[in-house]
Amino acid sequence: MFCGTRTRSFSSWLLILVLVVSLCDAGLYSQQPTATYSVKVKVVNMLATVRDKHGQIIRSLTKDDFTLEEDGRPQTIRYFTRETDMPLTLGLLVDTSRSQLRLLDEERTASHSFLDQMLRENKDNAFLIHFDSQVELLQDATGSRQKLEQALADVNMSREEQPVSGSPGSWPGGGGHRHGGGGGSSAAAGTLLYDAVFLASDELMKKEQGRKALIILSDGMDQGSKLSLETAIAAAQRADTMVYSILFADPQFYNQGPFGGWGGHRGGWGRFPQEDHPNGKKIMEKLATDTGGRFFEVGKKQSIEQIYAQIQEELRNQYSIGYTPDRPNPGSGYHKLHLAAKQKDMIVQTRDGYYWDR
């Protein structure tokens, strides 16, 4: 009897010991770090406007109505929405060189009405830059109509009319809000269009989220920019920013005689054959088409107010499209995109590529 009792007691203690060890092992195991793996997935986003053959915006399409290619490779659209409710950041870039001075009052009035109607309270922001021999940020991104109205009132030619030093300054950071032209250039001869687009894209738009668009009011005649047109366009593309370019030229200025323009330089174009000066229209068209925006020209057929109304309608009726490239690493550099509607008589307006930056 005694022996049997001891045997049963020993067996019971052995079972308890096994359970305790097992529980301890389980606890220790659960506390060990678990290996995790993360994969960075690149999502390419694009905004598109679709029109019929009559130029009317089409608002009723689905993702199945589109085909998409990257570098000639078919892609699958994974994200699609017809109503873009994302925040909007607008950048207004106004040319204030001598050739534009007679147009500034009209530009101020139309721009004030556009921003007042376009910006949604507590959701959208806008900033304002003017450029001639300087690129000056008059108002950083804000939703305040009062601040934007004051900035529009300040749109005018830069005060600096003497030769500019070689230092470009620190725009818009470092306590400065101006970016100067090349060394030895003067305010009279400067129109830093390319520099203005680059700075607006690289230093302002790049940090913003949501939809982004630059609106440029200019005759397209760049003079004195340190950067090239291609560099300016690349900056806008890297910042996922569309450019809406409005060609607004004063024909009286360019038709003046050899001494009628500013120092006979910008105003003296009338003395030279057409091919001797840059084609402002082609420059403005390229800024728009290469970034997925749109080109407009103020003239007898359409006023600046009518153009602003078209831009407003377009920005409120875009398709937001996103996809993940079929190649995990397409390679650094620029990749061509082709978005098309399956119905042949529809015209799709969007950017034609993106930069893959690792």
List the CATH number of the domain containing 262. Answer: 3.40.50.410
Residues 6 or more apart whose Cβ sits within 8 Å of residue 195: 131, 135, 179, 181, 225, 226, 227, 232
On whether the CB atoms of residues 245 and 293 are closer than 8 A, the answer is yes
Read off the pLDDT of each residue in 307-311 and give the average, rounded to a whole number: 95
225: in domain: yes
Q: pLDDT exceeding 90 applies to what percent of the chain?
A: 63
185: in domain: yes
User: For residue 204, is pLDDT > 90?
Assistant: yes
pLDDT confidence band for 42 (50 / 70 / 90): confident
pLDDT in tens, 232-289: 999 999 999 999 999 998 888 766 544 344 444 443 334 334 444 568 999 999 999 9
pLDDT at 198: 98
User: For residue 195, is pLDDT > 80?
Assistant: yes
8: in domain: no
Q: Which residues pair with 47 in a beta bridge?
A: 320
As a residue count, the chain comes to 358
pLDDT at 86: 83
229: in domain: yes
165: in domain: yes
Name the nearest CA neighbour of 212 among 90, 63, 42.
90
Of the ranges 15-19, 89-93, 156-160, 219-223, which one carries the lowest mean pLDDT score?
15-19
271's tokens? 């003395």
For the full predicted model, state whether its pTM sits above 0.75.
yes
Read off the pLDDT of each residue in 96-122 and give the average, rounded to a whole number: 92
304: in domain: yes
Residues 6 or more apart whose Cβ sits within 8 Å of residue 274: none
On whether the CB atoms of residues 82 and 66 are closer than 8 A, the answer is no
The mean pLDDT of the chain is 81
Read off the pLDDT of each residue in 295-310 and give the average, rounded to a whole number: 95
349 alpha carbon, distance to own chain's centre: 15
pLDDT at 259: 39
pLDDT at 190: 84
238: in domain: yes
Residues 6 or more apart whose Cβ sits within 8 Å of residue 77: 63, 66, 68, 321, 322, 323
Sheet with 44-51, strands from edge to edge, namely: 77-81, 319-323, 44-51, 347-349
114: in domain: yes
Domains held by the chain: number: 1
Range of the structural domain that residue 234 is part of: 88-315
185: helix, strand or coil: coil
pLDDT confidence band for 185 (50 / 70 / 90): very low
